[in-house]
Chain A
């Protein structure tokens, strides 16, 4: 779509004030395109450049349309249509959960009747410890989280990929029964990585190596590396991955069994590549981030790399490579390019020796 064009910005004087309206630029005797350095636009390429300020009269003689001016000249019917106001929505029970990304959900709600009155009717005077809360339920992993809220509002939740969620609004009190008032639709967060499953139809079956190639030629280099790293025996790879983590965490070891092996390997790779936990916060599930960050995990790149080398025979030179091309595109479209955030390209030569990336102990 091309709906576009930022208008040239209002020209400002060096002190940051707008030039006074009505100040006209003196006319040249001849009309010429302005080539004087009157512009203060960015120096980006045409494809990505912001617009420029234009000549002085572009500002001082430009009259922005004012809503008031337009409305004043209209009939009552026209005005009714031209001054659109959003309706006050009727007080109803609403609970809508929406996917924004594999790791983020949006929830809005409202409750038709005053929930505290309803609570009082049910419990008489003993409602003091109850709070109105939103509860996000991960129905895949059986986890829940709650936050105190008002009877109407919205909330952004951090989420785990590849999980089914439902949000609720209800009353919560420690050591008392939770009382649900409304609940939302279910939302499934997608995986942020390739499927682990290969097709059972022989014509379409692919090995991990072959699929890593597919991802590589499709521009999904990071996924290619991870798929190759995991190999065909995913269970063995996951086991080794967790063992690798245990080794790194030393005395801090904790239960990682319910975290996805792909994600754990991604964290290992990221740490080995020099990223901090904070830098990959948006790249990992909220649960894993909380677990690692909350536990104060400190793993140096050298430690992570050594662990990878020991368990997966990863060659150092093959991990550290160039950044992906950025997301900027010609025009105003906001097109996705894969793994643009801090990912690193794995050279093709790595894929020629992909077998080296099988877990050392996995059967071949």
Chain B
């Protein structure tokens, strides 16, 4: 259900002082390794399902049932949708969760006798994980995409799309490849959500002039950008980032509000740094003796984060070995207080902005990585829960809306040419193009040109050639994922990210060589299809030159 915002027009009574649009960006790179019985980096997905996606879905459902009228936009990226709908990953996640429950139960018995100061936190984990398993198996039928889809159909979420594989559009060299990132994403959205997306989270909020034309061609009405896309746009934006602007072609732009970003996201002043909250970095996977943990580790016996964390932050300058036990009840209370603080600051901000804008009701757009809520900030989902309850039940100054709602209000929107920008460090493209990862681009660009040449060349391919061409498209898309360059820059999982990029370029090359020589190796093709099975619906012809 899409709600119109005609009620917010200035002449209508009970108009709120301002509007608030929470936008969550849920994305993980496509990590699926059927060639191994278990794989460390697949944990990224499993942890996010347990800590982020199930809690958020559960909270949104509860809010809906309580008639709290939660309303927010959420991007569920195409790779994430594909992983959440994948049979192999679904089975592996179930195994992962059951294993974690076994460990939590074992721990519960242990701490009862030996470590009573951790009783509360372990009890919380047992209850939470057991509830997650019930929800996963019985309520969501192991398919979270459908759960998100239902929340959209109920009017809680406005689900938007992203680049097909989160490709950084300004650094893609050909128009055809950029278009493919958008078109494949839109087709994938239709497959999973049964409708067209209204909006798109541009991967890394990276924009340069011309991208809006690709979006318009795919029927997308708006995109999310960083603050300076609008603030440095031309002409000067009358309402800054507190109203959308429209590109000359009619595609709208919603930009990030800095104040709300800092309040939640800043490591220095953000809520998640409160001493009451759960400490992320101390995990039983590194705290308990290895023999004890062994049944719960991968077969290689390596320690890793297991997701059971027993300590609170304790203090900004407190060393990890001096952390104090986590108290779930106190953290929940703190989340409620922070939600109240956040809302009161929104009210104050709305009054200030309204004054600055000569009475125009401001829209505060607050985009965050979804994984901040629950994974990095364990209490984040509770914060969102309290926030929406307070917005609905405790006040009438702020109203939660989505970008689509705002556009439906038909409030006049200023036309502007936004500025090139991204939401990454320093505001442009440095994170994804620098001395450490620039080596990637000549290979990606070569594959982009070659893909279009192949698509143009094969007018009447046979069945195997069609499969090979489609798989080439998948490999190129996977190579373009911005996650690889990002992680290389960040210095995290550098080897894995580098290998993934090389793998997809390598696989693309093997198949392209076969196509060019009219000798596709079917055994090789089948193996690559089995591994990189993203986008079953893909059609290589999207790469044909226009």
Residues of chain A whose beta carbon lies under 8 Å from any beta carbon of chain B? 1-8, 25, 27-28, 30-39, 41-52, 54-55, 57-58, 61-65, 77-78, 80-82, 84-87, 89, 94, 96, 98-102, 104, 106, 108, 154, 156, 188, 190-195, 197-201, 203-206, 210-211, 213-215, 217-220, 223, 325-338
Contacts and interface: CB of A to CB of B under 8 A. Distances in A.
B231 interface: yes
A63 B372 contact: no
Contacts of A35: 321
A145 B277 CA distance: 54
B422 A336 contact: yes
B302 A62 contact: yes
A81 B505 contact: no
Given A87-B506, A337-B262, A61 B301 contact: yes
Contact of A84 (B239, B441, B502): B502
B213 to A, nearest CB: 16
B266 A328 contact: yes
Interface residues of B, number: 134
Contacts of A80: 510, 524
19 contacts: A3-B29, A31-B110, A31-B292, A32-B115, A36-B321, A47-B270, A48-B267, A61-B301, A84-B502, A84-B506, A100-B430, A100-B433, A102-B428, A203-B412, A203-B414, A214-B238, A218-B257, A329-B267, A330-B266
Interface of B: 27-29, 35, 40-41, 44, 47-48, 52, 110, 114-115, 118, 170-171, 173, 208-209, 226-228, 231-242, 257-259, 261-262, 264-270, 272-273, 277-282, 284, 286-292, 300-305, 310, 313, 316-322, 352-353, 356-357, 369, 371-372, 375-377, 412, 414-416, 419-431, 433-435, 438, 441-443, 445-446, 483, 486-487, 489-493, 499, 502-503, 505-507, 509-510, 523-524, 527-528, 531
B438 A106 contact: yes
Nearest to B234: A195
A2 B412 contact: no
B506 A96 contact: no
Contacts of A211: 236
A46 B502 contact: no
A45 B493 CA distance: 22
Contacts of A34: 287-288, 321
A54 B377 contact: no
A63 B300 contact: yes
Closest 10 CB pairs of A and B: A219-B258, A2-B371, A84-B506, A54-B286, A331-B376, A39-B321, A52-B320, A328-B267, A195-B234, A48-B267
Contacts of B419: 190-191
Most chain B CB atoms below 10 A, which of A4, A101, A194? A4
Contact of A81 (B235, B236, B304, B507): B507
B258 A43 contact: no
Contacts of A193: 232
Contact of B300 (A44, A65, A210, A331): A65
Given A31-B289, A335-B425, A330 B273 contact: yes
B239 A214 contact: yes
Contacts of B505: 84, 86-87
A330 B259 CA distance: 15
Contact of A33 (B118, B281, B371): B118
B227 A89 contact: no
B492 A5 contact: yes
A96 B442 contact: yes
Contacts of B170: 99
A153 to B, nearest CB: 11
Given A58-B286, A96-B445, A217-B352, A2 B44 contact: yes
A7 B357 CA distance: 48
A52 B209 contact: no
Given A204-B238, A325-B266, A1 B486 contact: yes
A327 B425 contact: yes
B528 A81 contact: yes
B240 A218 contact: yes
Contact of B173 (A41, A65, A96, A206): A96
A194 B236 contact: yes
B493 A218 contact: no
Contact of B426 (A85, A101, A332): A101
Nearest to B31: A3
Nearest to A216: B356
Contacts of A46: 272-273, 277-281, 313
A33 B284 contact: yes
Given A63-B302, A329-B265, 15 more contacts: A1-B371, A3-B487, A39-B319, A86-B505, A96-B445, A98-B429, A100-B434, A108-B438, A195-B234, A198-B236, A203-B414, A204-B238, A217-B356, A220-B227, A331-B372
